[in-house]
């Protein structure tokens, strides 16, 4: 099998960290694993060590760093090694950009190469937060009010209140996200978010940060990230060991935990996802859950939430990675039988 990771999105460092964990776990379980960085192609053992040993910084790579990498790379997006008969499945350890928005998935399907995670449609739907939230609302799932497109600071505050979340419409790992507490700061936050494309404005829900993994359509354990009720779970908090306390299972009443699991599994179906996903919520003071987004390729780093959600129901990390691979291969078999 091959693990596809890296690339030139702002989540490159996180992708590398996920790949390091996945490659190690699969090799420990006896699998031959080829490490493939979409920015450089298949890696030699020497290059692999150099790339995978890099830690996740407190901030994502700069635009200049990613631009240099993109322009200097001569590798194809899908290296020829992936078509090798010995590659039975490609494990997607990519996050953000073309790795999570359906483009890589489309290329792999056109090349008839089995891969893990959601398909092109589900990936694209989940990555576009505006579209995903419209689908959540249509399906009866609570999600905070939002706006997209051009709007004045006054209109945003009038419609959504303060504080307000300003973020890119199609990014992950809270890249480009700001929690704005004053109307005078809205324009500066828009400038940051707009570097990554369309901007989304979302009503901030004070409360607890709750997360639920889904594997093969079944919800895993509910977890909680212990952060102040008036803050957000930011990039540095997510990828620095010990930055925050994460509890699995979350300290929630059983009916509320079951409700969170039901909503996560429902959202997984609404977005037409395959394999696995992770749903992130805010739980307000009245005990109401608000779905923020669904991640189709959630992080698999040493501090990531999905592996903790799985471990809390007895699925250790190596078994999780193997099962994800099996699901990708099963889907490919079903597609072949249906003539796709």
Compute CA distances 175 → 60, 91, 189, 195, whole Å: 7, 24, 12, 10
- Same domain for 231 and 175, yes or no, is no
Tell me, yes or no, whether 327 lies in a domain: no
Tell me, yes or no, whether 9 lies in a domain: yes
For 51, the domain range is 2-116
Query: Does residue 57 surpass a pLDDT of 60?
Result: no
- Same domain for 272 and 293, yes or no, is yes
- Same domain for 225 and 273, yes or no, is yes
Q: Name the average pLDDT for the chain.
A: 88
Query: Does residue 339 surpass a pLDDT of 50?
Result: no
Tell me, yes or no, whether 272 lies in a domain: yes
- Token duo for residue 84: 């090798």
- Same domain for 72 and 14, yes or no, is yes
Euclidean distance between CA atoms 310 and 322, whole angstroms: 13
State the average pLDDT over residues 9-31.
Answer: 92
Query: Does residue 235 surpass a pLDDT of 70?
Result: no
Q: Are 67 and 104 in contact (CB under 8 A)?
A: no
Residues with Cβ within 8 Å of residue 85, at least 6 apart in sequence: none
- Same domain for 60 and 180, yes or no, is no
- Give the model confidence (pLDDT) of 255-288 as tens digits: 999 999 999 999 999 999 999 999 999 999 999 9
pTM for the model stands at: 0.88
| Domain closes at, from 156, 171, 203 | 203
Tell me, yes or no, whether 110 lies in a domain: yes
Query: Does residue 336 surpass a pLDDT of 80?
Result: no
- The region of weakest confidence among 2-16, 56-70, 183-197, 235-249 is 56-70
Q: Are 117 and 298 in contact (CB under 8 A)?
A: no
Count of beta carbons in the 10 Å neighbourhood of residue 198: 14
pLDDT of 84: 66
- The region of weakest confidence among 168-182, 237-251, 265-279, 298-312 is 237-251
At 41, the pLDDT band (50, 70, 90 cuts) reads confident
pLDDT of 340: 37
Strands 164-168 and 199-203: antiparallel
At 337, the pLDDT band (50, 70, 90 cuts) reads very low
State the average pLDDT over residues 40-50.
Answer: 87
Q: What is the DSSP string of 7-70?
A: -SSTTHHHHHHHHHHHHHHHHHTT---EEEETTTEEPPHHHHHHHHTPPP-SSPPPHHHHHHHH
Tell me, yes or no, whether 170 lies in a domain: yes
pLDDT of 333: 84
pLDDT above 90 covers what percent of the chain?
Answer: 68
Tell me, yes or no, whether 184 lies in a domain: yes
pLDDT of 75: 42
State the average pLDDT over residues 296-310.
Answer: 91
Could you tell me how far CA 243 lies from the centroid of its own chain? Answer: 19
Sign, CA dihedral 15-43-1-318, equals: negative
Tell me, yes or no, whether 121 lies in a domain: no
Task: Give per-residue burial for 149-171: e unless 16+ CB within 10 Å, then b.
Answer: eebebeebbeebeebbbbbbbbb
Number of domains in the chain: 3
CATH code: domain of residue 134:
3.30.470.20
Query: Does residue 184 surpass a pLDDT of 90?
Result: yes
Count of beta carbons in the 10 Å neighbourhood of residue 338: 7
Closest listed residue to residue 239, CA positions, set 10, 14, 1, 29? 14
State the average pLDDT over residues 224-251.
Answer: 76
């Amino acid at each position: 099998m091959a693990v596809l990771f890296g690339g030139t999105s702002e989540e490159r460092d996180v992708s590398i960290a996920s790949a390091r964990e996945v490659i190690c776990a699969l090799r420990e379980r006896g699998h031959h694993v080829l490490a493939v960085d979409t920015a450089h192609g298949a890696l030699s053992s020497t290059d692999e060590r150099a790339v995978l040993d890099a830690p996740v910084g407190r901030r994502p790579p700069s635009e200049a760093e990613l631009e240099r990498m993109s322009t200097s790379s001569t590798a194809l997006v899908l290296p020829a090694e992936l078509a090798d008969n010995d590659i039975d499945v490609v494990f997607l350890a990519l996050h953000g950009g073309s790795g999570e928005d359906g483009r890589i998935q489309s290329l792999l399907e056109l090349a008839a190469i089995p891969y893990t995670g959601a398909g092109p449609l589900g990936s694209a739907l989940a990555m576009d937060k505006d579209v995903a939230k419209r689908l959540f609302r249509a399906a009866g799932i609570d999600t905070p009010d939002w706006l997209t497109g051009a709007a004045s600071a006054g209109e945003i505050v009038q419609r959504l209140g303060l504080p307000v979340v300003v973020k890119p419409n199609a990014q992950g790992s809270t890249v480009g996200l700001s929690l704005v507490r004053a109307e005078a700061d809205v324009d500066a936050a828009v400038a940051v978010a707009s570097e990554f494309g369309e901007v989304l404005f979302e009503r901030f829900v004070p409360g607890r940060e709750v997360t639920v993994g889904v594997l093969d359509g079944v919800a895993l354990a509910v977890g909680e990230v212990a952060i102040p009720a008036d803050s957000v779970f930011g990039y540095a908090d997510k990828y620095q060991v010990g930055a925050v306390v994460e509890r699995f299972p979350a300290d929630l009443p059983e009916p509320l935990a079951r409700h969170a699991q039901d909503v996560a599994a429902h959202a997984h179906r609404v977005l037409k996802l395959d394999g696995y996903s992770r749903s992130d919520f805010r739980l307000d003071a009245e005990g109401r859950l608000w779905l923020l987004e669904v991640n189709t390729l959630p992080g698999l780093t040493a501090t990531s939430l999905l592996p903790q959600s799985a471990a809390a129901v007895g699925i250790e990390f190596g078994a999780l990675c193997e099962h994800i691979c099996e699901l990708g291969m099963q889907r490919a078999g079903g597609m072949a039988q249906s003539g796709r």
